Structure 1
Amino acid sequence: MKRETEAASWTAVCGVDDIVPNTGVCALLNGEQVAVFRLGAGDGTRVFAIGNYDPNSQAAVLSRGLVGSLGERIVVASPLYKHHFDLQTGECLEAPQNSVPTWPARIDGGKVWVGA
């Protein structure tokens, strides 16, 4: 479900320091809610962007979930039914048919950029 294209247009959604390490925020990108997560701090900081809408609970809550890992996968656990979503692929581990879209994300100039 990756939405990355060769000519992705990038949008700055917030400053990287606006996101507490190992948490997420919600951003509006072209009219769609995107959950943006910051993992790590300093030079090891990484960002991910997935759909904020949890199809299992039918609520826009993924940006409020708990970030962690299951094996080698970096995931967010939905705050309602605790389903795990892979931050790299958007796959819902418990119900793959309810996976969410992903967007490319990067840090540049102290800002978090999401590709649309």
Structure 2
Amino acid sequence: MAQYQLKENKLTLSVKPSPIFVRILMFAFSFMLFILPVSGMISSISEVKGIQSGFFISIFVFGLMVFYLLRIALWNTYEKKELVFQSMSALTLQITVDLKTIIQLKHYKQ
């Protein structure tokens, strides 16, 4: 599988999937990073300590980490990127997901 392909004005970048253990580990870490601050906030509210501003800061920081880690995990699993050159000075970035590798689509006859 070629990691890049150049056709006319379109450059396609893709990666082969990483090992399944690494992908499971990245998805598990991103899930835990999402659950930890939310569960901490819920437990603090249930103990009648109230909502503190630190919870929102931690949810924001952990949310950024989850977004980045999930982005990397999805890139290593499914994604390919296409760079389309429309003119010499303009560059359009299109991010596409190959749905055939995510789920098996049924072919409907029209």
TM-score category of the 2 structures, normalised to the smaller one = under 0.3
Structure whose alpha-carbon radius of gyration is higher: 2
User: TM-score, normalising length from structure 2?
Assistant: 0.25
Larger proportion of strand: 1
